[in-house]
Structures are given as structure tokens and as C-alpha cells.
A and B are shown apart, each in its own frame.
Chain A
């Protein structure tokens, strides 16, 4: 596709369940980023990938959060044993590389009941 695609657009799940969020970056973009945006707040950096490697995982809030990227393309963000504080919009972005602008998807709105 022409832009960054995220799925699902909305996810409602019960506390304690695992969820998997998907991001399809723009073709050819080597860098991929995940952010969390809580209601009414700014962007919280989670992790970024350069190719399939994640040089900076410093933003992952806990060991319940993990992410992977394969084929220098699709990335999945997994949250295990979800908690209510995980409720947020999760944004994915991709870019051509260092110092290049990021292109954002529309996000996945995650609600934990």
C-alpha cells in the first residue's frame, strides 16, 4: 500500500489476555518505530527497528511487551497478560532511515476491560 497500515484498528480485550498488534510499513522503509499514546497525552517511544534488528528497546514498559520484525517488513507488537493501564492508541511509523521523517499509521486503539 501507499502508507503505513496498522491492524486491527480497534481491539477490545479482557484483562489478562495477550494481544498482538500488526504494522505494515511503507515498502522500502528500513526503519520502523512503535509508540504508545495514552488519552490526551503525547507520544511515548517504545522501540525502533533498523532492518530486523532493534537497537533501542529502552521504551518498552515491562517484560510483558515485546516486538519483532521480519523480512525488513511487517512488525508485530505483543502485549502479554494485558493490564488496564495498557489501554492506549499504539502508533507505528516507518522511515527511510536515519534523520528521515517518519510516516505514521492511523494506530490501533486498544481497550482493556
Chain B
């Protein structure tokens, strides 16, 4: 069965520190991948997406993610975290040619001064 795993439920980082949020998927076919962010009381906002080509993709708000097929991973990174980055982050994976996307369970990011 297809699945998406975000192993870290909750992460705390200091403001200005680097960040890496993990996402692993289990799919038999070529995936397409997204990262979304959700602030409290709001819907999800797209940070970045990967379909093909360069495996390092840049997104909004200074985020980037790297697709590693050999590790079935699509980890999200940011070099220097800002207090406004505190939110919940969701990884999502779909199969090429299919509409349905499966979301991970999310990682809640806390930023401390």
C-alpha cells in the first residue's frame, strides 16, 4: 500500500538555526511530491513541489527540498528559521497520472527565541 511517513511529530528549533523536516514515501511508481504549511486556524499553503528534473527544488519563504529516489525521501530544509515559521508542515505524495494525493500526518514546528 502507498504511504507517506513524517517521523517527527514535533520539532523545536531556536530562531536562526537550520531546519530539516523528514518525509519518506512508499510508492511503486514515479511520485510527484509537495510540501504544505498550515498556520493555526487556516488551510494549507503550498511551499514547493517536485514533478521532475532538478531534484533540489526551491520554494517560498526560503524553503527548499531535495528528492532522493534511492532513499524514497523528500526532506524539507531551511538554513535559518524565523519565529514566523512556527506552524505545522505536511508532506504529500501522488502517483503520476493519478489525481489523489496522500498526506503525511504532519510535523509541528516550534521556534524558540
Contact = CB atoms under 8 A, between A and B. Distances in A.
Interface of A: 4, 31, 35, 41-43, 45, 48, 50, 55-56, 91, 93, 97-99, 101-107
Interface in B1-55: 32, 34, 36, 41-46, 49, 51
A99 B51 contact: yes
A107 to B, nearest CB: 6
Contact of B90 (A42, A98, A107): A42
B94 A106 contact: no
Interface string B87-106: 00010001011111111111
12 contacts: A35-B103, A45-B100, A50-B99, A56-B99, A93-B43, A97-B99, A99-B32, A99-B94, A102-B34, A102-B44, A104-B43, A106-B43
Contact of B46 (A43, A45, A48, A101): A101
Interface of B: 32, 34, 36, 41-46, 49, 51, 90, 94, 96-106
Contact of A107 (B43, B96, B97): B43
Contacts of B44: 43, 91, 93, 102, 104
B102 A45 contact: yes
Interface centre among A31, A43, A91, A97 (most CB of B within 10 A): A43
Contact of B96 (A43, A91, A99): A99
B90 A43 contact: yes
